[in-house]
Chain A
Amino acid sequence: MSTHAATKAPAVNFHGIWAIYRFEMARALRTLWQSLVTPVITTSLYFVVFGGAIGSKISTVGGVGYGSFIVPGLIMLSLLTQSISNASIGIYFPKFTGTVYELLSAPVSAMEMVIGYVGAAATKSIVLGLIILATASLFVPLSIVHPVAMLAFLVLTSITFSLLGFIIGVWANGFEQLNFIPALLITPLTFLGGAFYSIDMLPQPWRTVSLFNPVVYLVSGFRWAFFDKGDVSVGLSLGVTALFLVVCLAVISWIFKTGWRMKN
């Protein structure tokens, strides 16, 4: 064994990425109840309350039945919160238990670590989004005008918010902080981001204020993929999502360059 260890290691540690990805997926399967079933039940409840009880008083929004109208927003709400919580717990837990020593001492680059953790978190979110979509189709008629764009938004949003979750997991010094950003920032932004209404329905100045909420662009783009209409143009939606992705990547590369909250 001494002969080949003196040689240079391969440029990418695919085994390492796969190990982290599999570990994270196994963690989700162990806690299948929390990972998938709970969000589905929660979403179904939203659906019954907003779609059934309240929706019956609102006939259509922009020509789409209210029940169908809220489906993209509902999926987005779960996608954002679950991506963040999956990815943040994924990296926070090793820091908490001390097993992070192994990650830091392994021949795994920062980017490989991110691909493993964020890839697994995003995979779970995408599966979750599709399950919610299937659940919703049991309640209301659904047709997806741009299925490829719908999948693209699903994947892009899952990755972006898993990256954000990773950052939160690195930043957090306690379990309370893990819940802090999702509860105090993401959920309100999603509710106010047109998940359950079109921002056209808002009076001024709230309509303009809403345009500063990044989630508006996510929900709008996603809704466009379903119904071919959104609050803002699809190009703008895509642009804002991509911008957010780039910002998250920049923050993560800074974290690994400085070792912030990861290394002494």
Chain B
Amino acid sequence: MDTILSIVGVSKTYASGHRALEPVDLDIARGEIFALLGPNGAGKTTLISIICGIVTPSTGTVTVLGHDAQKDFRSARRAIGLVPQELSVDMFETVLATVKFSRRLFGKGPNDAHIEQVLRDLSLWDKRDAKIRELSGGMKRRVLIAKALSHEPEILFLDEPTAGVDVALRRDMWKLVHKLRAAGTTIILTTHYIEEAEEMADRVGVIDKGRIILVERKAALMKKLGKRRMLIALQAPMTAVPADLAAWNLALEDEGATLLYTFDSENEDIPGLLAKLGTLGIGYRDLETHKSSLEDIFVDLVEQKDAA
């Protein structure tokens, strides 16, 4: 793996005594999209803040492109762009001025062509002379992304990029992320929506209570964790699952009134099951399917972990 970012033994205990992060080891490969998945308060933002220099780690080291993020912070930080979770913007500045400011702050000379391209990609070019306070929340989020991309970072951090964001922006953001990845940018995003990780990530790390529980390629994780269930409300209750249905993972619930079918993307066969039910003359009133939520996945993971 061509490692672009290496985290070794990084932990954080805040002055209040709150232990936000247990020692974390994590390597990020150049060019990948890594999703850090976890519930609120799991330590996602703390970890990102440490990498970006906003929070000082209690222990451990962060190495960016071979540069120690504390000792050689200049070389490390100028390779990084950060889109924070909060909509922190200079209300009285114009869009163009604040994006140009960010580029200079990160040590780069003016490049109007690049700034224009970034603003166009984010549909902000028409708003370039608008004061930021006049913009909607979604537009402010776009401004934050433009600021983070202003200095052409090699690593982009997106902290909860789609929290409270409308559909149009979410779509634009995904498009932008794919475009950046094609250009070779490494992207690390945090989210508590599994769909977001599903849509964008190559690899997923799950973090809970300050611990990284697992890191896996998305495909493998979805196979492992992305369980789905279908509830079939029967017209007449059964006492046992018929032997003819043994090919499907079935169980009875509600004293035999509901047939529960559990499956994942690998062994999904709803049409086959429904056809078979028809052949067997088993009538049903209603069908309901559920995707396992992130919460279910966490419960599963934590239970597995506790059992181990």
Contacts and interface: CB of A to CB of B under 8 A. Distances in A.
B is a partner of A: yes
A243 B76 CA distance: 36
A107 B73 contact: yes
A106 B65 contact: no
B17 interface: no
Contacts of B147: 102
A264 B79 contact: no
Contacts of A8: 67, 72, 74-75
Contact of A105 (B14, B53, B75, B89): B53
Contacts, number: 102
Interface in A71-113: 97-99, 101-109
Nearest to B87: A98
Could you say which of A5, A30, A102 has the most chain B C-beta atoms within 10 Å of its C-beta? A102
Interface stretch (B103-111, B269-277, B279-287, B296-304): B103-111
With most chain B CB atoms within 10 A of its CB, the pick from A18, A23, A107, A259 is A107
A98 B92 CA distance: 14
A107 B154 CA distance: 14
Contacts of B184: 1-2
B15 A264 contact: yes
A20 interface: yes
Interface in B75-95: 75-80, 82, 84, 86, 88-92
B91 A26 contact: no
Contact of B154 (A1, A259, A263): A1
Nearest to B108: A15
B97 interface: yes
B60 interface: no
Interface residues of A, number: 34
A18 B108 CA distance: 11
Nearest to B109: A15
A185 B43 CA distance: 42
A6 B105 contact: no
Interface string B53-64: 111100000000
B72 A105 contact: no
Interface residues of B, number: 42
Contacts of A263: 54-56
B278 interface: no
B41 interface: no
Nearest to B90: A99
B239 to A, nearest CB: 61
A16 interface: yes
Contact of A108 (B30, B54, B105, B108): B105
A105 B54 contact: yes
A19 interface: yes
B193 interface: no
A227 to B, nearest CB: 43
A101 B82 contact: yes
A207 to B, nearest CB: 46
A7 B72 CA distance: 11
Interface in B28-78: 30, 49, 52-56, 65-67, 72-78
A179 interface: no
Contacts of A22: 101, 104
A24 to B, nearest CB: 11
B105 A20 contact: yes
A1 B101 contact: no
Contacts of B75: 7-9, 107
Nearest to B110: A15
A21 to B, nearest CB: 10
B152 interface: yes
Interface of B: 14-15, 30, 49, 52-56, 65-67, 72-80, 82, 84, 86, 88-92, 97, 101-102, 104-109, 147, 152, 154, 184
11 contacts: A1-B152, A16-B107, A19-B101, A101-B54, A101-B86, A104-B52, A104-B53, A106-B105, A106-B107, A109-B74, A264-B14
A-B CB proximity, top 3 nearest: A98-B88, A19-B104, A9-B74
Given A107-B74, A107-B75, A263-B55, 16 more contacts: A1-B154, A8-B72, A9-B75, A10-B74, A15-B108, A19-B101, A20-B105, A22-B101, A27-B92, A30-B92, A97-B88, A101-B54, A107-B78, A109-B74, A264-B54, A264-B55
Interface of A: 1-2, 5-10, 13, 15-16, 18-20, 22-23, 26-27, 30, 97-99, 101-109, 259, 263-264
